[in-house]
Amino acid sequence: MHQNRNTSQPVVLITGATDGIGRALAHIYRARGARVIGIGRRPAEEVSSDQRSDYCRVDLAQPFASTLVADVLRQRGVARLDRLIHCAGIGSYGAVDDQTPEAIDALLDVNLRAPIALTHALLPLLIAAHGHVTFIGSIAAALPAPNYAVYGATKAALEGFARSLREELRGRVGVQIVHPGATRTGMHAKSGVPPDRVNERRFPSPMWTAERIVRAIERNAAVATTGSVNRLLRCVGRHVGGIADAVAARQVVAPQHTIVDTTHPPGMLSTDGRRHCVVTGGANGIGRAVVERYARDGWLVTIIDREAPQINRAIQDATTFIQADLAHSEGIARALRHLAALPAADVVVQSAGINAVGAFAASAIDEQLTVIDINLRAPLHLTAGLLHLALLAPRATLVFIASLSVYTGYPGAAVYAASKDGLSSYARSLRVALAQRHMNVITVYPGPTRTAHARRYSPDNRRESRRMAPERVAACIATAVERRCARVIPGITNQAVALIGSVAPTLTMYAMRKTIFERLEALSGDVKAGRP
């Protein structure tokens, strides 16, 4: 069993430490006298001799990875952790249609689920040292990335998680995210980028990027970007979206593997000529309001949900129900099989979503990761399947229900915030990717809504009547579909909050902490003390 060799020696754990930026970071911290524990997938014999004593071979894509790392640290006598740097990451290049379920899962597992789970497992060690967590993001988080749509979504989700977690752990553990730009590593080739599409000689070296990441860590900025050019790109992506979208549109690659079922032509109408709307999570809340709106307007509506909806008799003849649990691959595959037997979808509203509220440090990690599965993984899989199988009508519209938390943060539901930031990023990239095919993508950012979902997760329902009715959100969605909008924030108040969150994020985060997180903490204290 290893023991801490020097109790005053800082302990730094770096994932992805055997290649690229992670390896350069490990070299820098070793040179500074830190004990560096490297995590990687390579066999120990392939790791340089100076890394082997504190090297841990772990495949972070595996569900047990975080538990394994925590066990290894315990066996090696590590009782405190000064720095945790999440550098491991993978990419994937290509058309959104060509993203396989396996590729989507790999990106989510390594780039998002692993950092969340590992942070959760190691928080006691970080708290003991008043330590610091750094997530390595990417400038793709702020840009439309039509050829890297899932990758960009994972990095945007990581940023959403980091900023909400930072507020939760304030005063105990520092949290930040650093966004490097393209770096001269093997990641581009592994992602499938054609050699003629990228000139790696123009990119900085891993050591150059690592040095700037270390400087950002020392400044402890909540969000940092390496390099002046990358900072400019991030600024343009966040604040001058039209320019970024136009540039990205010129880079879109065509799909190569779309399946067209000649027995069920894309765009086929129902027997009575009605248009077709598909709604996930259509049994309750906003989803149900959308179902009722489109059914009353004379559309054929298909509901995908794990529980049977209570449908008004007046619209029963217009609705079809597909029972499927979108938290699991079998449920998504089941939904796609049933959709293949129905008319092509003119509108798809991805409304299914769950939450898990409370302090992340005290939460059950399996429950938190299920939020990622339903809120982000399922829409990515379902969208890729709809495109790959050609189940969308010409000029179809895809609608993604994100959250106002994209603008405000959500301490007390950091993983939920991550899922919605990731979904928003994916929708933006998808909009650019599908524009040439005359399809539209809309992202909806509802605020507090009068639903059972909001009632279940809110720490204070005394002012429930002030929340927006789901029928009003559904009306905004229907109008946006007809106008082929790109973004919808229902309600003037929500629009004002989003604007403040864009220009003064510290203010909205402070408000969210006071109105959400601190109330959740107080309720948790009451429960533990047995108070009603």
DSSP codes joined into one string, 237-272: HHH-HHHHHHHHHTTPPPPS-----TTS-TTPPPTT
Tokens linked to 241: 């979206």
Whether residue 423 has pLDDT greater than 90: yes
Tell me the C-alpha distance between 124 and 118, whole Å. Answer: 11
Tens digits of per-residue pLDDT, 255-281?
A: 876 655 544 444 455 556 789 999 999
Tokens linked to 350: 């991805």
Whether residue 254 has pLDDT greater than 80: yes
Tens digits of per-residue pLDDT, 278-310?
A: 999 999 999 999 999 999 999 999 999 998 888
Q: What is the pLDDT of residue 503?
A: 92
> Which positions ≥6 away from 60 have C-beta within 8 Å?
15, 39, 41, 88, 109, 110, 114, 118
Tell me the C-alpha distance between 169 and 20, whole Å. Answer: 30
Closest by alpha carbon to 342, among 441, 266, 291, 439? 266
Closest by alpha carbon to 324, among 387, 374, 392? 374
Higher pLDDT, 142 or 254: 142
Supply φ then ψ for residue 24, to 5 degrees. Answer: -65, -40
What is the maximal distance between C-alpha atoms in the chain?
77
Whether residue 214 has pLDDT greater than 80: yes
Tell me the C-alpha distance between 239 and 420, whole Å. Answer: 19
> Which positions ≥6 away from 80 have C-beta within 8 Å?
11, 125, 128, 129, 131
Whether residue 532 has pLDDT greater than 70: no
Q: What is the pLDDT of residue 452?
A: 76
In contact, 470 and 288? CB cutoff 8 Å:
yes
Q: Which residue is associated with the tokens 């559309």? A: 299
State which fold the 11-249 domain adopts. Answer: Rossmann fold (3.40.50)
Sheet containing strand 132-136, strands side by side:
55-57, 35-40, 11-15, 83-86, 132-136, 174-179, 223-225
Q: What is the pLDDT of residue 193?
A: 87
Measured in whole angstroms, the distance separating CA 116 from the mean position of its chain's CA atoms is 11
pLDDT band, very low/low/confident/very high, at 194 (cuts 50, 70, 90) = confident
In contact, 448 and 497? CB cutoff 8 Å:
no
Question: Amino acid letter at 122?
Answer: L
Q: Which of 145-159, 210-224, 244-258, 492-506 has the lowest mean pLDDT?
A: 244-258
Q: What is the pLDDT of residue 455?
A: 75
Question: Could you check whether 11-249 and 276-529 share the same CATH topology?
Answer: yes
Q: pTM of whole model > 0.85? A: yes
Q: What is the pLDDT of residue 258?
A: 61
Whether residue 165 has pLDDT greater than 80: yes
- In the DSSP assignment, the letter for residue 468 is B
Q: Which residues pair with 191 in a beta bridge?
A: none
Percent of the residues in the chain that have a pLDDT greater than 90, as a whole number: 75
Tell me the average pLDDT across 415-431: 98
Closest by alpha carbon to 22, among 63, 46, 49, 51? 51
pLDDT band, very low/low/confident/very high, at 197 (cuts 50, 70, 90) = confident
Helices (H), 196-328: 206-219, 228-239, 241-249, 285-296
Q: What is the pLDDT of residue 4?
A: 46
Closest by alpha carbon to 360, among 231, 229, 77, 168? 168
Closest by alpha carbon to 152, among 248, 226, 59? 248
Tell me the C-alpha distance between 325 and 333, whole Å. Answer: 10
Tens digits of per-residue pLDDT, 105-135?
A: 999 999 999 999 999 999 999 999 999 999 9
Q: What is the pLDDT of residue 262?
A: 44
How high does pLDDT run on average in the chain? Answer: 90
Tens digits of per-residue pLDDT, 449-474?
A: 988 776 776 766 767 778 899 999 99
Tens digits of per-residue pLDDT, 338-387?
A: 999 999 999 999 999 999 999 999 999 999 999 999 999 999 999 999 99
Tens digits of per-residue pLDDT, 29-47?
A: 999 999 999 999 988 777 7
Whether residue 394 has pLDDT greater than 60: yes
Q: What is the pLDDT of residue 527?
A: 41
Separation in Å, CA 219 to CA 132, 134, 214, 215: 12, 12, 9, 6
Tell me the average pLDDT across 181-197: 87
Higher pLDDT, 245 or 418: 418
Q: What is the pLDDT of residue 142?
A: 95
Question: Amino acid letter at 85?
Answer: I
Burial of 431 (0-12, 13-18, 19+ CB in 10 A): buried
Active site residue 416: no
Q: What is the pLDDT of residue 267?
A: 45
Separation in Å, CA 159 to CA 46, 142, 281, 430: 32, 10, 26, 19
pLDDT band, very low/low/confident/very high, at 1 (cuts 50, 70, 90) = very low
Domain ranges of the chain: 11-249, 276-529
Tokens linked to 238: 């966040």
Higher pLDDT, 451 or 96: 96
Q: Which residues pair with 319 in a beta bridge?
A: 301
Tell me the C-alpha distance between 420 and 404, whole Å. Answer: 9
Q: What is the pLDDT of residue 7?
A: 63
Separation in Å, CA 383 to CA 69, 178, 289, 330, 445: 34, 29, 22, 15, 19
Catalytic residue among 29, 151, 407, 457: 151
pLDDT band, very low/low/confident/very high, at 524 (cuts 50, 70, 90) = low
Q: Which of 214-228, 484-498, 511-525 has the lowest mean pLDDT?
A: 511-525
Q: What is the pLDDT of residue 3?
A: 45
Q: What is the pLDDT of residue 189?
A: 84
Q: Which residue is associated with the tokens 């129900």? A: 321
Tell me the C-alpha distance between 283 and 352, whole Å. Answer: 9
Separation in Å, CA 483 to CA 90, 230, 280, 344, 345: 37, 34, 22, 21, 18
- The CATH code of the domain at 276-529 is 3.40.50.720
